[in-house]
Amino acid sequence: MNSEITTGADYASRRRRSSRRRKRRGLPLIRLFLLLALLCAALAYREFGSLLSNRYAPNTRGSALLQSTAQASALKPFAADLAVPEADSGTDLLGDVRAEGVLLIDGTNEKALLSRNAYTRMNPASTTKIMTCLLALEDSDIHMDDVWTAGPEIVVSEPGASMGGFQQGDKLTAEQVLYCLMVRSGADAANMIAKQVAGSEEAFVEKMNARAKELGATGTHFTNSHGLTDPDHYTTPYDLYLILHEAMKYPEFQKLASQKLYTADYVDAAGQPVQKKWFNTNYYLVGKAKLPEGFSVVAAKTGTTLAAGACLAQLTASESGKQYYSVVLKSPNHDVLYQDASLLLQKSAQVH
């Protein structure tokens, strides 16, 4: 009897001890579970806070790229280190300037001085070739001493197009083709560059438009590498300034875009020597027009078609060392174009 009681008590005691051991073993698991739950809650709170922050924070990237113009409905590209003009500024000083699109910028201080239709889309004619040249200079696979062979791409159908005079099979260096582009304004040179850089005109045009967007030239759309007439090929005075400003970062561009005369010696398809002399199409550089006293051309590109009128984008320097970007689009003719460009520089002193 006593034996049975003693055994039962022992059994109960053993069960209580076993229960306590199970409870002690379970405590770490419970603590681990609670710790994991707290960690998940903290992560969820952080992600939720980040979502709210991103959703309601101001779009600083967009505001850095776009800035309102004087007209509430208009937008214009913006970059911190570039001038941002009003669409029309200093109009009282532009009465004698006949061009439809005008922009004068103090390049030393990046300050807009005068503007007319700065964000209006216009046909740029051969000032397009600034972008063509820029893409060639930016391409690390292109070297000045590379030898290129002219192919079917050099054929240009538009009457009156400025040409370098290449024949299929001609072998020229990349440097010679680039000089033809910027000095002679050769459309055949532009097509050769497009093929060498991108493989085709179409692929090159895609690069042109992509690069324009990167530069903030949102009012620009290219359909070819040379600037010949196409209703879907356009830019604005401001966008042209942006493109020229970027090109000026390359010393090679300044050299290409300021040469008065370039002589190219190369060989034709039969290996026979060919020599071409190309005079710059810029009247200032070749002495057909005179800059205002104390100014000189640093780099420039002209353009002329029936649709675009006479155009000029250039950087000039004064004797004091100040630099000025001038963009003149759609002047009635060449004579008026250089009158307009000179008037802009003359008026620069009045608007500082």
Q: What is the pLDDT along the chain (352 residues), one digit of tens a residue?
A: 443 434 444 544 555 555 555 545 555 555 656 666 665 555 554 444 443 333 333 333 233 323 333 332 333 444 557 888 888 888 889 999 999 999 999 999 999 999 999 999 999 999 999 999 999 999 999 999 999 999 999 999 888 899 999 999 999 999 999 999 999 999 999 999 999 999 999 999 999 999 999 999 999 999 999 999 999 999 999 999 999 999 999 999 999 999 999 999 999 999 999 999 999 999 999 999 999 999 999 999 999 999 999 999 999 999 999 999 999 999 999 999 999 999 999 998 777 6
Q: Which of 89, 115, 185, 258 is catalytic?
A: 185
Alpha helix positions (H), the chain: 2-56, 60-65, 129-138, 174-179, 187-198, 201-214, 237-247, 251-256, 283-286, 334-347
Other CB atoms within 10 Å distance of the CB of residue 31: 10
Q: Which of 76, 89, 115, 129 is catalytic?
A: 129
User: Residue 43's pLDDT is what?
Assistant: 53
Q: What whole-number distance in Å separates Cα of residue 59 and Cα of residue 65? A: 10
Q: Which of 126, 331, 342, 348 is catalytic?
A: 126
Q: What whole-number distance in Å separates Cα of residue 158 and Cα of residue 143? A: 30
User: Residue 74's pLDDT is what?
Assistant: 39
185 in catalytic set: yes
Quickly count helices (H) and strands (E) in the chain. Answer: 10, 11
Enter the DSSP assignment of 184.
I
Other CB atoms within 10 Å distance of the CB of residue 277: 10
User: Residue 349's pLDDT is what?
Assistant: 73
User: Residue 259's pLDDT is what?
Assistant: 98
